Amino acid sequence: MLLGEHAVVHQRPCLVTAVDARLHMTLTLTDDDQFTIYAPDVGVDQIQGAIADAFAGNQALAKGTRFIESALAVFREQFGLDRGVQITTRSDFSSELGLGSSSATVACTLFGLAQLCQHDLAPRELFDLGIQAIFRVQQTGSGFDLASAIYGGTLYYNNVDPREIIPLAVPDLPLLVAYTGTKADTPTYVRQVAERLVTWPEAMTRIFDAMAELVQVGRGALGAADWPRLGQLLDMQHGLAHAIGVDTPKTVELVFRAREAGAYGAKLSGAGGGDCIIILAPDHKRTEIETALQASGGQIIPVLPNAPGVRIEPEDKEL
């Protein structure tokens, strides 16, 4: 998330970029009526159940596979699924990092099932199905990370009805990502912000409107590759995130270390409460910034922005 955290949940726009750490999923149709999931990266060696019972009663067989099961249920209801499926996942990144692993899982499952069953679904159709799958699991969320996983690249995303998803032609972002060491619970922080909105409706509404203004200005700065200007916007967004109560001492520490080491700007990225910060880093300051972050306990996550969205890997002939 570049700009617009939490405001996007409340019908405002955001800017988001896909990173090149990927979730890999292999799907194979079987001749029975069972689904079998192997997901060792999230502690699931193997689970099996009837296709008809996938996410039955809004319950999954295992916490680590709930988004896969929910996507299976949504796909089956929409298109039917009269055969079983075996699914194996492998991730380039830990689900602890808060880099949209749940949305990547939903995007992969729906895209893979569509390919297997020969349904030619446009990105927007995948997105609409994916929103249903995510809401079944967590009953909240704006969908920006799902859009990023499906479309890839850098997006302007506006959480209105109907949602706007606009791919942006932007140059390479000089982006650094650092993990705070703490896994955040996104639904919890979304609910906390919603509660603060009830308590302080006028103040919170003005903050969300300010975040929306930063997004609109940031869209222009992105297109112009005006990194000092975009960096200032990141700094302001972080201040607004602090105001709505989602900052932590560790994110504060890492953000300020990055700025002191010469970053254009830095901010928490996502729901808050931990997870990652992002930094716009001048090339000649990049090493110095990385060193400062590591000295303060930050873990540099080697990812590149503007990555492609869900796809069949080029070397694979079939899923």
Query: 143-184: per-residue pLDDT in tens?
Result: 999 999 999 999 999 999 899 999 999 888 999 999 998 887
Residue 48 tokens, joined:
């099996």
Q: Kindly state the average pLDDT of the residues 257-261.
A: 97
Give the C-alpha separation, 32 to 30, whole Å: 6
Q: Are residues 142 and 249 in the same domain?
A: no
Q: Are residues 44 and 115 in the same domain?
A: yes
* Count of structural domains, the chain: 2
Residue 58 domain boundaries: 23-151
Give the C-alpha separation, 270 to 148, whole Å: 13
Q: Are residues 68 and 139 in the same domain?
A: yes
Characterize the bridge pairing of strands 13-17 and 154-158.
Answer: antiparallel
Contact 62, 44 (CB under 8 A): yes
Contact 277, 269 (CB under 8 A): yes
Characterize the bridge pairing of strands 84-91 and 34-39.
Answer: parallel
Provide the β-strand partners of residue 178.
277, 300
Which strands sit side by side in the sheet containing 44-50, from one edge to the other? 23-30, 84-91, 34-39, 44-50
Asked whether the predicted pLDDT for residue 252 surpasses 50, the reply is: yes
Query: 30-51: per-residue pLDDT in tens?
Result: 999 999 999 888 888 889 999 9
Domain contains 166:
no
* CATH number of residue 228's parent domain: 3.30.70.890
Which strands sit side by side in the sheet containing 13-17, from one edge to the other? 13-17, 154-158, 164-168
* CATH number of residue 136's parent domain: 3.30.230.10
Give the C-alpha separation, 70 to 64, whole Å: 12
* pLDDT recorded at residue 288: 97
